[in-house]
Chain A
Amino acid sequence: MPLFDSDFLKKLEYLSLVSKRVFRGSLMAQRRTMAMGSGIEFADHRDYTPGDDFRYIDWNLFARHNQLLLKRFQEEEDLHVYFLVDASRSMAFGDPPKFDFARQVAAALAYIALADLDRIAVTLFSKDILGDFPLTRGKGRILSLLKFFENAEASGEDTDLERVVTGFIHRDQRRGLVVIVSDLYDPAGFEKGLDLLRHRKYEPFVVQMYDKYEKEPDGMLGDVEMWDVESGDTRKVTVTEKNLKQYRQLFDDFQEKIRTYCNNYNLGCARSSTEIPFDELILRMMRVAGAVR
């Protein structure tokens, strides 16, 4: 069954229509650029100073208050949305595989952004950057993007977000929204990578996903040979009920850690099990953002 079938495209269209009603950027909590310029959207007033363009003087106010005030407009510019999609082997785990879910979510968000005339770029990563879909604009590019995603494989080694972000931020590109779609199973921790993005004035948005079996590994009880799909290492262990309890606690702590981090730094964050359809996650994100009810 193809990953992006006609049904998927219908859902994209639906999500796009829903997002039309939304103020641009609300979905992903991005800000407009702070640059004042020649846009059409009024921002505020300031006192006139000699040399200013007379065209921007608010004559109505002058007539009422006999005070020269200059109208300021917000500069409009394209929003750059970068998608960092985790393609490590751990993303191939689960039923359905987390990578499928990640690609669907990333494609949907990208489509919404393209529909809003934003620019998007996609970067696949694991230990390093594995592949790029270059910065592009316009809904017409969606098919190319879907093809890119279809060809992508979750075959990378251990996730190293810091290393990947380091490579990413050193590129010559405009700041913008960085949507990280990953399970965030970074042995070194996900925080450093996100910190780097924040410090470089990017706006990270975290979409973290997990499989139900990761949350509740029932079949692990007893003497088992544990096989790490990411590294390929095996290990013979005896998993007791107590171990399972510890595991569940650690997993919950990890989820809580992601939530706390995003809250602390006011980052957008969506966490979900792959059991739900990707469009439901998008809608949920919209609801959280107040875009739909």
Chain B
Amino acid sequence: MSFLHPGALVWALLAIPVVIFYILKIRLKRVPVSTVIFWRQIFDEKKPQSIWQRLRHLVSLLVQLFLLSLLVFSLAEPFLTSDSKNARRLVLVIDNSASMKATDGDPTRLTRAKEEALAVIRGLRFTDEMAVLSAGTQPTVVCGITGHQRTLREAIDSIPATDGPTHLAEAIAAAKRLGEEETSNEGSTTSSGKETEIVVITDGGTPDFAKLQTSDKIKFIVVGAKTPNVAITRFQTRRSAIDPIGYEILVEVTNQSDEESGPIRLAIKLNDNLIEIKPLNLKPNEKWSEVIENTTADGGLLIAELVTKGEKEDVPLVDALAADNVARAVLPVRLPQPTHMHSPSGNLFLQRVLEANPLVQLTQSKEMPKSFAAGGITVFHREVPAKLPPGQILVVDPASDCDLWTVGEKLQSPIVTQQEKESPLMAHVRLDNILMPEAKKLTFTHAAGKPSVLAGAVSGDPLYALIERPEGKVLVLTVHLEMGDLPFRTAFPILAMNALNFFNGGQGELRESLATGSTTSVTLATEATLRAPDGTEKKLPAGKLTVGPFDQVGVWTIDKDEYAVNLMNAAESDLRAPEDYPSSANAAGLVAGFLGRPVWYYLIAFAWAMAALEWYLYQRRWIS
């Protein structure tokens, strides 16, 4: 046995005054009595007979000296050589992903996990060390290697519950690195021989969980049971390709259970107005998915929720995990587009295709207007002014020159041979094999800069081009609508809608719903505030940056922009915890038990006992 602080043994000198006081019997309270007749009878004529009563003062002295020696030894912190040899280094990985919020863990799995973690901490020997990592949305070192149990307990308490996915593999890798770094920091000067053990407390809610057990130095404690759960595993929206105000909802519901789900319903609401309800009764492990179409120019919050039939109205489905019973999407408002069409002779194809767009507020003219409304879209058919006005302009079949181009001869065999497929203007558009007679050769002027050719003829001449001006974009299509068959093709309305959308600048386009744990890129003109669904805020700097990973389901906002974040993770929604793993720190053999405590702990405990004995003796002297 050795002492950590041998200098503390000097406190043993306190035994000297203890003995001196015993011998001298410190000055007692002097009490006058008028007669000793009665006291003499008590003390002399009824003398204590037992050895114990005669020796109790001596025993008290011995107890005091023993108590002192115990305290002095505990101050010197004795330790056994075997203690240092058997020291452990643990890295505790706690899963705080969404599935750990499941309420089958009294109250949640994360709570159970924290309790087991605290049990591991309680079971640490005084020479043991431990670090704590969380393996939720983003693996995080919650507490570095330390032997201070209170710090470790506080670290465990500080681990938050998240709605993010599990990142056990990354967390285990980080734990290994942490252990290796600590070993390399100790260098060869220590002979502690500590090997890093990794203890993972999880519910196993991750694919390929069994493959994580790569070494016997990784131990798993699995919390949770085989709990059934029905979840919305996909929820996405997109704009209809043919309807400017239409949108499609892709929804998927999975029964993560070995039993039938029973009758449930999927209710989809837009701004709390029910737009669709689907009765479901899913078989074990069944996935149900459907695309639901709807139209609205109004924006709002689209919510899909699993419900059950109540007595009067549907009530939210109650199962072990609430986070995956609701999914959200943000539908932006579609604003009307004021559009003016100028055509000296008029063109019914063009007029109809513009009118077919419900967002377009169309006005027409045959005489060239003197001025054009700002902020709208202007469509010139054949006749164009010498100088194109500012704003967004679509020119179809230009018959005369303007400041951006000169019109040349008719093209020979104007078949589209080249098409810019990546451009949103050409999305869902195929111009192959479309006859475009009477298409004229366009020669762009210096003022047009370098136009983007979206569709070109075999001769290389542009048929459909984009000119980007500082005062607005110009699209020019050199197709004679009456002579060709383009107006009869589906490509024509799509082309027109793409052009209108392009002019709209993407306003009103759907933003896809994000899954927890994912990130998104934003470009901020000024500093902005990121607000989480729980109300917590974070400042974001200006510029292009990546926001996330998002660790809460709900609607996040960056100033006025809304982002819907859903769990949408089948593995997290699968609450069937694997059963072949220990479910407690005790079962995993991680608790060193009472004997794992330092020697001074037992000395102090014994000193308490001695103090109690002395107190008893003292009281007996007074009371007995």
| Contacts from A to B (Cβ < 8 Å) | 90, 93-94, 98, 183, 185, 187, 211, 214, 217, 219-231, 233-238, 240-243, 246-247, 250-251, 254
Minimal Cβ-Cβ distance residue in A for B38:
A250
Cβ < 8 Å to A, chain B residues 13-55: 25, 27-39, 41-43, 46
Complex Cα distance A94/B32, Å?
A: 10
Complex Cα distance A234/B33, Å?
A: 10
Complex Cα distance A219/B28, Å?
A: 13
Interchain CB contact under 8 A, B32 and A229: yes
Contact of B39 among A183, A223, A247 (CB under 8 A): A247
Any A CB within 8 A of the CB of B177: no
A209 → chain B, closest Cβ, in Å?
11
User: Which candidate, B227-235, B536-544, B594-602, B616-624, is the interface stretch facing chain A?
Assistant: B616-624
Interchain CB contact under 8 A, A224 and B28: yes
Interchain CB contact under 8 A, A94 and B34: yes
Complex Cα distance A240/B39, Å?
A: 12
Interchain CB contact under 8 A, B35 and A247: no
Complex Cα distance A94/B33, Å?
A: 9
Interchain CB contact under 8 A, B30 and A221: no
Complex Cα distance A230/B84, Å?
A: 70
Minimal Cβ-Cβ distance residue in A for B41:
A250
Interchain CB contact under 8 A, B42 and A222: no
- Binary CB contact string for chain B from 342 to 386 against chain A (1 if under 8 A, 0 otherwise): 000000000000000000000000000000000000000000000
B43 contacts across to A, CB distance below 8 A? 235, 237, 243
Interchain CB contact under 8 A, A90 and B623: no
Interchain CB contact under 8 A, B624 and A185: no
Interchain CB contact under 8 A, A217 and B37: no
Most chain A CB within 10 A, of B39, B41, B621, is at: B39
- Binary CB contact string for chain B from 119 to 130 against chain A (1 if under 8 A, 0 otherwise): 000000000000
Minimal Cβ-Cβ distance residue in B for A233:
B36
What are 13 A-to-B residue pairs whose CB atoms are below 8 Å? A90-B35, A93-B33, A187-B37, A214-B34, A220-B33, A222-B621, A223-B621, A224-B30, A229-B33, A236-B25, A237-B43, A241-B623, A241-B624
A250 contacts across to B, CB distance below 8 A? 38, 41-42
Chain A binding surface SS class: mixed
Interchain CB contact under 8 A, A228 and B38: no
Given the interface contacts A240-B621, A240-B623, A240-B624, does A219 sit within 8 Å of B36 by beta carbon? Answer: no
A233 contacts across to B, CB distance below 8 A? 36
Complex Cα distance A242/B30, Å?
A: 20
Interchain CB contact under 8 A, B622 and A227: no
A221 contacts across to B, CB distance below 8 A? 622
Count of chain B residues with a beta carbon within 8 Å of a chain A beta carbon: 23
Interchain CB contact under 8 A, B39 and A226: yes
Complex Cα distance A116/B308, Å?
A: 114
Interchain CB contact under 8 A, B38 and A225: no
Interchain CB contact under 8 A, B38 and A242: no
B38 contacts across to A, CB distance below 8 A? 247, 250-251, 254
Interchain CB contact under 8 A, B41 and A240: no
Interchain CB contact under 8 A, B34 and A226: no
Contact of A93 among B32, B37, B621 (CB under 8 A): B32
A236 contacts across to B, CB distance below 8 A? 25, 28
Contact of B31 among A211, A225, A251 (CB under 8 A): A225
A243 contacts across to B, CB distance below 8 A? 42-43
Given the interface contacts A240-B621, A242-B624, does A227 sit within 8 Å of B39 by beta carbon? Answer: no
A227 → chain B, closest Cβ, in Å?
5
Complex Cα distance A250/B35, Å?
A: 12
B623 contacts across to A, CB distance below 8 A? 240-242
A240 contacts across to B, CB distance below 8 A? 620-624
Complex Cα distance A210/B623, Å?
A: 26
Minimal Cβ-Cβ distance residue in A for B44:
A235
A23 → chain B, closest Cβ, in Å?
37
Given the interface contacts A237-B43, A241-B622, does A223 sit within 8 Å of B28 by beta carbon? Answer: yes
Interchain CB contact under 8 A, A246 and B42: yes
Interchain CB contact under 8 A, A220 and B31: yes
B25 → chain A, closest Cβ, in Å?
6
Ranked nearest first, the 7 interchain pairs of A and B with the lowest CB-CB distance are: A93-B34, A185-B35, A90-B34, A250-B38, A225-B28, A241-B623, A225-B30
Minimal Cβ-Cβ distance residue in A for B28:
A225
Interchain CB contact under 8 A, B31 and A230: no
Complex Cα distance A219/B29, Å?
A: 10
- Binary CB contact string for chain B from 532 to 564 against chain A (1 if under 8 A, 0 otherwise): 000000000000000000000000000000000
Given the interface contacts A226-B36, A242-B623, does A234 sit within 8 Å of B30 by beta carbon? Answer: yes
Further pairs besides A230-B34, A247-B42: 7, Cβ < 8 Å: A93-B33, A217-B33, A225-B29, A228-B33, A240-B622, A241-B622, A243-B43
A228 contacts across to B, CB distance below 8 A? 33, 35-36
Minimal Cβ-Cβ distance residue in B for A221:
B622
Minimal Cβ-Cβ distance residue in B for A217:
B33
Interchain CB contact under 8 A, A222 and B33: no
Given the interface contacts A225-B28, A250-B42, does A211 sit within 8 Å of B33 by beta carbon? Answer: no
B29 contacts across to A, CB distance below 8 A? 222-225
Given the interface contacts A222-B29, A224-B28, A242-B624, does A237 sit within 8 Å of B34 by beta carbon? Answer: no
Cβ < 8 Å to A, chain B residues 579-624: 620-624
B620 contacts across to A, CB distance below 8 A? 240
Interchain CB contact under 8 A, A224 and B34: no
A227 contacts across to B, CB distance below 8 A? 30-33
B41 contacts across to A, CB distance below 8 A? 246, 250
A183 contacts across to B, CB distance below 8 A? 34-35
Complex Cα distance A182/B417, Å?
A: 143
Given the interface contacts A224-B31, A247-B42, does A185 sit within 8 Å of B37 by beta carbon? Answer: yes
Minimal Cβ-Cβ distance residue in A for B27:
A225
Complex Cα distance A219/B25, Å?
A: 19
A94 → chain B, closest Cβ, in Å?
7
A234 contacts across to B, CB distance below 8 A? 30
Most chain A CB within 10 A, of B25, B36, B620, B623, is at: B36
B624 contacts across to A, CB distance below 8 A? 240-242
A274 → chain B, closest Cβ, in Å?
11
- Binary CB contact string for chain B from 412 to 437 against chain A (1 if under 8 A, 0 otherwise): 00000000000000000000000000
Interchain CB contact under 8 A, A246 and B622: no
Contact of B36 among A94, A223, A235, A242 (CB under 8 A): A235
Most chain A CB within 10 A, of B27, B29, B32, B34, is at: B34
Interchain CB contact under 8 A, A246 and B46: yes
Complex Cα distance A103/B620, Å?
A: 43
A150 → chain B, closest Cβ, in Å?
22
Complex Cα distance A206/B212, Å?
A: 103
Complex Cα distance A236/B34, Å?
A: 16
B35 contacts across to A, CB distance below 8 A? 90, 183, 185, 214, 228, 230
Cβ < 8 Å to A, chain B residues 487-515: none
B42 contacts across to A, CB distance below 8 A? 243, 246-247, 250
A229 contacts across to B, CB distance below 8 A? 32-34
Complex Cα distance A187/B45, Å?
A: 14
